[in-house]
Amino acid sequence: MRPPSSRRPIARLERARTMPRWVRGLDAAAARRINRRAAPDALLTGLSRAADGGLIWAAIAATMVVFGAHRAALRGVGSMLVAGVVSDVVVKRFFDGPRPGWDAVPHARRLRAYPRTTSFPSGHSASAAGFAAGVAWESPAAGAALAPLAAGVAYSRLHVGAHWLSDVVAGVAIGAVVASVGRLVVPARRRSSPPEPEVAQVIERIDLPASADGAGVLIVMNSGAGTSVIHLDPRPVIAERLPKARVRELEAHEAMADIVREIMAGEHPPEILGVYGGDGSVSRMAHLALEFDRPFLALPGGTFNHFARTAGLDSVELALDALEAGTGIAASVGELRAGDRTTTVLNSASIGVYPEFVAERTKRKARLGKWVGGVVAAWRGLRDAEPIEISIGGKRARVWSVFASIGRNTPGQVATFQRRTLSDDVLDVRVQHARGSRLQAVAALSFGAASRAVLRALRLLPPASDIEHITATEITISVRPSPGDAPFYAHDGELQRRPAVGPDGRYAMTCRILPRALRVYAPASTR
């Protein structure tokens, strides 16, 4: 028995006559090998169904829009639609031939209904490749994260017996070519630097100890940072330019604070503390630089590098140039006290929806990757997020989230992940009151100006009346978590376990500004 097939009136090319014998032999061998595996693998069967009509890609595109990647989402959807038309409307009309026989497919893996169109090429594979490749032209990191999912959809069509291997390969090729042609017709937008701060600042530039060869410098490397993007290995550059530096790579079980304190307690402690990693690693080393009163060298190696970018350090080479020249800035930072823990905050700290999102993404990162895990976490947030009750200055409120930015941030947004300047001596606190929907709560995590414009046009952003702005040099927040609230708060993209609640069911957090407290190496043009 075979799945139904309908001969199209204008079909001219028969599979049995046009496909080389070795291709047909490879198709048959691949089908036999896959069908010998009796395991049902329900995940793949479900994935094949989820890709019907491009539903899974539409859902991912909607989530990308929520998180600010609207151009990547638009290019992905456009490539997917065009690839689907080329595959299903154009190419299929010129090829005829049956699909694989479903009688050889294990019963648990069969679809409820098989398509009645001809087999060549696979429309699901074309759409999947078109979407992933289209996204990749705008955001290589997001495209790389989506590639395994697209490959899974393509393979699932073999898994359920809906297509031959050559159908899938042709579909993937169509999707990739369509996305590439689309990039030629509509070039991808060039990456630009973050916008200039909207408040004028008097930047306190300072001279710092210069080191042309790394003498007196300790650099701790977090090899696990920034694994969601591609970085060039910094070791050759560091070894060439700083041959006398002490470089210590963290093992998975080691804590940076323990290593640095041990080295500082030994003979000839370093005069300069540096770190290669993302914002979490940078904030931990900044805390130690303050503790030991040492100048701080930030080598960007994470996914976003928010603090380093604000400091003008877009690459390891620029940071090493500043070290060699001895140029720097006195940066204001935050000090966050939660229970018996004191943390240095470089960009922002938050409670509410965002820590829950990070916790969900972290839980799925090992299996799905950071970007796809983020999509799943966003959908979980849309389903499960609950408001929390806070008290500030004796005033109580139910809120979705609270963000405390170091320095005044961009007006009109809730989430403040990257600070705008290093020298503003205030906290900019954004409170999103829980008067809107979960969708608005998740949409508010978007922080790009373009994405906010799209979401505002779609009426997905919370109204301005739901967002309260507080400017202060110190603020204390008392929190009554909801029963399902994740037991974390976040700072600089990292999770910390929140303090235990007291007898009244609350815990307290205090954040204060430390004006110009951190001496950080930076180029002369730093904001």
Identity at 7, one-letter amino acid code: R
pLDDT at 143: 80
At 275 the pLDDT is: 96
* Per-residue pLDDT at 230: 56
Cβ contact 506:351 at 8 Å: no
Render 377-444 in DSSP notation, one character per residue. HHHHHHHH---EEEEETTEEEEEEEEEEEES---TT-S---S-S-S---SEEEEEEETTS-HHHHHHT
pLDDT of residue 202: 57
Token readout for 527 is: 């904001």
Paired tokens of 158:
């073999």
CA pair distance 354, 368, nearest whole angstrom? 19
Collapsing DSSP states into helix, strand and coil, what is residue 471? strand
Of the candidates 522, 449, 468, the residue with the CA atom closest to the CA atom of residue 196: 449
Residues of the chain with pLDDT under 50: 1-12, 190-200, 226
Quote the pLDDT of residue 307: 93
> What CA–CA distance (Å, rounded) separates 304 from 228?
10
Helices (H), ranges, 51-203: 55-66, 70-85, 123-138, 140-159, 165-185
Please give the pLDDT value at position 11.
44
Pair type for strands 205-207 and 327-338: antiparallel
Query: Cis omega before residue 487 (within 30°)?
Result: no
Which pTM was predicted?
0.62
pLDDT at 94: 74
- Residues in a beta bridge with 328: 206, 521
Domains of the chain with CATH codes = 13-185 (1.20.144.10), 209-325 (3.40.50.10330), 348-514 (2.60.200.40)
In this predicted model, what pLDDT tens digit does every residue of 335-377 receive, in sequence order? 999 988 999 999 999 998 888 887 777 776 666 665 565 666 6
Query: Looking at residue 447, what is its pLDDT?
Result: 53
Q: If residue 350 lies in a helix (H) or strand (E), which one and from where to where?
A: strand 348-352
Cα separation, 418 vs 422, in Å, equals: 11
Relative to beta strand 272-277, strand 296-300 is parallel
